[in-house]
Amino acid sequence: MALRRRRRARPVLSTVVTGGALPPPSELELSRRAWRRSRARRSTLVALASTLLFAVVAYLAVTRSPGWPRVQTTFFSASVALESLPEIARGLLVNLQVLVVGGLLVLVVGLGIAALRTLRGPALAPLRFLATAYVDLFRGMPLIIVLYLVGFGFPALGLQGVPTSPFVLGTAAIVLVYSAYVAEVFRAGIESVHPSQRAAARSLGLTHRQTMRIVVLPQALRTVTPALLNDFVALQKDVGLISVLGAVDAVRSAQIQVGQSFNFTPYVVAGLLFVLLAVPSARLADAVTARARRRQQSGSLL
């Protein structure tokens, strides 16, 4: 059965037979629009001026502080930055790999855990209990401790076939922790779908699984996308923590170079690279949130 969603169907606001376009705006309306435009221009100018003023004050305060010359050479040395950039960028590729692999795994595991937590019925209680315990454990434990436990504990077992690469173990630890967070986001989304939707689906004869897959999850996903993107931005920087296991990622290679030169600029470089990585996702999250809001209250003023 092909259940195809019609995406972005126009909201049916009216059944009016739209006979022609808008009449040309009146003089009054034109003057109102002009006034609003000038108002908007003025607000923009005020905002620009105040931002500029703040920037100048902040700049002067920092550059005139007594320790500034030293800070400048140890943290913001252009030559050190240029020198360290290639190594750090190479390290960032490792972070990106962890991000992509980890991110996908987190989605799958998180969704699975959430599905387990929403199961009903006494027979499935143990599964539900396990899922709850998992979420409690990994949401409560600091990521860095999970990294130590997984990264150093597993190899210490000396079992055959257990990977020892810090890349793999670091990714596993991150997936363990983030899946717990994302499972809760999914669960909130699933529970936000009104019960009447479930009733309607079951009354059509759909099974619990079909109801989830075809009716509940698509609606839940829509509500939780902004929250998921927010978690993704958080994940982007937390992948830098695998450096504690010795994986040579951006943070680690910055550390190595700091150790060699006793100049902290490589940390700043690595930090900026992570920010650059996060900015597109943050804007994407904003755009998705705005779109969801528009869909909810199309055309409303408030």
Partner 1 sequence: MNVLELRGIVKAFGDNVVLRGVDLAVDEHRVVALIGGSGSGKSTLLRCAALLETVDDGQVLLDGEDVTDPRVDADRVRRRMGVVFQAYNLFPHLSVLDNVTLAPTAVHGRPRAEAVEEARGLLARIGLADKAGEYPDRLSGGQQQRVAIVRALAVRPRVLLLDEVTSALDPELVGEVLALVREVAAQGMTIVMATHEMGFARQVADTVAFLDGGVLLESGPPAQVLGEPQHARTRQFLARVIDAGRL
Chain positions contacting partner 1, by CB under 8 A: 13-23, 25-26, 28-29, 32, 35-36, 39, 298-302
How far is 40 from 42, CA to CA, in rounded Å? 5
Q: Strands, E, within 111-229: which ranges?
A: none
Contact 238, 210 (CB under 8 A): no
DSSP assignment of 241-285: GGGGGT---HHHHHHHHHHHH---HHHHHHHHHHHHHHHHHHHHH
CB of 292 to partner 1, least distance (A): 18
Q: Whose Cβ is closer to partner 1: residue 26's or residue 160's?
A: 26
How far is 108 from 105, CA to CA, in rounded Å? 5
Q: Whose Cβ is closer to partner 1: residue 24's or residue 122's?
A: 24
DSSP 8-state code for residue 297? T
- List C-alpha distances in Å: 261 to 84, 243, 264: 11, 19, 8
CB of 40 to partner 1, least distance (A): 11
CB of 84 to partner 1, least distance (A): 52
Q: Which helix (H) or strand (E) holds 180?
A: helix 166-192
Burial class (CB in 10 A: 0-12, 13-18, 19+), 95: buried
Tokens 């996060």 appear where?
278
CB of 10 to partner 1, least distance (A): 8
Q: Whose Cβ is closer to partner 1: residue 20's or residue 140's?
A: 20
CB of 289 to partner 1, least distance (A): 21
Q: Whose Cβ is closer to partner 1: residue 90's or residue 293's?
A: 293
Q: Whose Cβ is closer to partner 1: residue 39's or residue 90's?
A: 39
CB of 109 to partner 1, least distance (A): 35
Q: Is the dihedral of CA 251, 257, 262, 267 positive or negative?
A: negative
- List C-alpha distances in Å: 31 to 21, 22, 26, 37, 53: 21, 18, 9, 10, 33
CB of 284 to partner 1, least distance (A): 24
CB of 46 to partner 1, least distance (A): 17
Q: Whose Cβ is closer to partner 1: residue 160's or residue 196's?
A: 196
Q: Whose Cβ is closer to partner 1: residue 32's or residue 283's?
A: 32
Contact 192, 221 (CB under 8 A): no
Q: Whose Cβ is closer to partner 1: residue 1's or residue 13's?
A: 13
